[in-house]
Amino acid sequence: MNNQEIAIIGAGIGGLTTAIALHKKGFTNITIYERRTTATTMGAGLVLWANAVKILERLDLLDSIEEIGGKLEQMQRYTSENEFLGAINVKTINTVIGATSFSVSRADLQEVLLEKAVQLKIAIVYKQAVKKMISDTKKTTIIFETDTRITPDIVIGADGRMNSIARKYVVGDNTPIYQNFVNWIGIVELQKPTFLENNVLDFWGVGQRFGLVPINAHKAYWAGGMALPLNAPEKKGDYKKDLDSMFGSWSPKIKEIIALTPSENIKYIEVFDHNPTNVWHKDRVCLLGDAAHATLPTSGQGACQAIEDAWHFATCLATEESVETAFKSFKALRFNKTTSITMAGRNLATSLFNTDAIYCQQRNAQAKQTDYKNASQGIAQLWGSGL
């Protein structure tokens, strides 16, 4: 199977990592088609949890991740009044899974993946947006916006959550579901060493949340979230002013970080996911990453699961006898874990963005009673499963 023509749609985290994993498994005829003009990325930063890092290590990327990443110690939770609720121990998660978790900027991660893809001579074609896919006996023809057509042996749909053409082809429907909250995300880089503790700070209010993630002493990313309908007036607001009035009184650290973040580094995102589907492939097309199982940012695992997909997809394709059985094994391996993570993300979002003050008081009281050692181990068991 190793010389089969493989087309990957999308040069995001999932598409690039899959290309690298396929190359590692001996596949050489790979082309990535990306609609953007260059490999830019949306978003500020993310945590590569130990489960994803374990895979990146297998892809010989650990050294590069160590260079760009910050080693986290705790995820501390506070109320919006700055009352400490407890902390998830990242070191426990690392120990159980057997790797280190790193916070990274998205731009840096994208660069690391791209550099590796270029080094491996993987072809990436930019400005090549897929318009449509059609069934062609047992194969699939991809039609691009430029009206050029290709009929590769294998197509990987890694075209994200918002308008995946591959998901439309495979599942029949690709409409993402708005989950009734928005995020303002930002990234800040400073001359002066400012982020001296390697702890995620997570503040919980009523229908609102603010999280701050340090990458190193000079760099951090953050997200403010709030329950809001689609197209709320905040979408067109003055973000810094809006954020300061919403979160500025929660903690001096939040006020400071909002003030220090350049306006152009702040983005407003209405947050969608997908209902889990167990249809991941059709003909010669297989979905992975967000196109297969988009999860909310509250799961903390979207990108990490795309990275896990990459490894397992490449392994299945390298070891199974046919493309069909490879696709089936891949889905069988990945469905339960990604579904559990999607549902966990939704549950946490429902709780965090609940607008009932009494509910939030009870939620916070419960959080204070949590056995965080057990909680950290529980998280590690789910995230570390099936690696």
Ligand X SMILES: Cc1cc2nc3c(=O)[nH]c(=O)nc-3n(C[C@H](O)[C@H](O)[C@H](O)COP(=O)(O)OP(=O)(O)OC[C@H]3O[C@@H](n4cnc5c(N)ncnc54)[C@H](O)[C@@H]3O)c2cc1C
The residue with tokens 């050294």 is 63
Give me the DSSP letters along 80-114.
Answer: TT--EEEEEEHHHHHHHHTS--EEEEHHHHHHHHH
Site residues (vs ligand X, CB under 6 A): 9-15, 33-36, 43, 46-47, 129-130, 158-160, 165, 183, 185, 269, 271, 289-291, 297, 300-304, 306
Q: Judged by CB, which is closer to ligand X: 172, or 252?
A: 172
Shortest Å distance, C-beta 362 to ligand X = 27
Q: How is residue 122 written in tokens?
A: 């993987």
Q: How is residue 330 written in tokens?
A: 């891949």
∠ CA 14-231-11 to the nearest 5 degrees?
15
Shortest Å distance, C-beta 247 to ligand X = 16
Shortest Å distance, C-beta 278 to ligand X = 18
Are the beta carbons of 301 and 49 closer than 8 angstroms? yes
The HSE-up count of residue 228 (CA atoms within 13 Å, CB side) is: 19
Please give the residue whose beta carbon sits closest to ligand X in the complex.
12
Q: Judged by CB, which is closer to ligand X: 304, or 317?
A: 304
- Phi first, then psi, for residue 212 (nearest 5°) are -125, 130
Question: What sign results for the dihedral spanned by CA atoms 73, 78, 83, 89?
Answer: negative
The type of residue at 56 is: L
Shortest Å distance, C-beta 37 to ligand X = 10
Q: Judged by CB, which is closer to ligand X: 21, or 46?
A: 46
Q: Judged by CB, which is closer to ligand X: 15, or 205?
A: 15
Shortest Å distance, C-beta 346 to ligand X = 14
Shortest Å distance, C-beta 268 to ligand X = 10
Shortest Å distance, C-beta 340 to ligand X = 15
Q: Judged by CB, which is closer to ligand X: 62, or 114?
A: 114
Q: Judged by CB, which is closer to ligand X: 42, or 357?
A: 42
Question: What sign results for the dihedral spanned by CA atoms 137, 138, 144, 145?
Answer: positive
The residue with tokens 């992975």 is 288
Q: Judged by CB, which is closer to ligand X: 1, or 36?
A: 36
Residues in CB range of 160: below 8 A, 6 or more apart: 10, 12, 289, 290, 291, 294
Question: Can you tell me the distance from the alpha carbon of 354 to that of 126, in angstroms, rounded to the nearest whole number?
Answer: 41
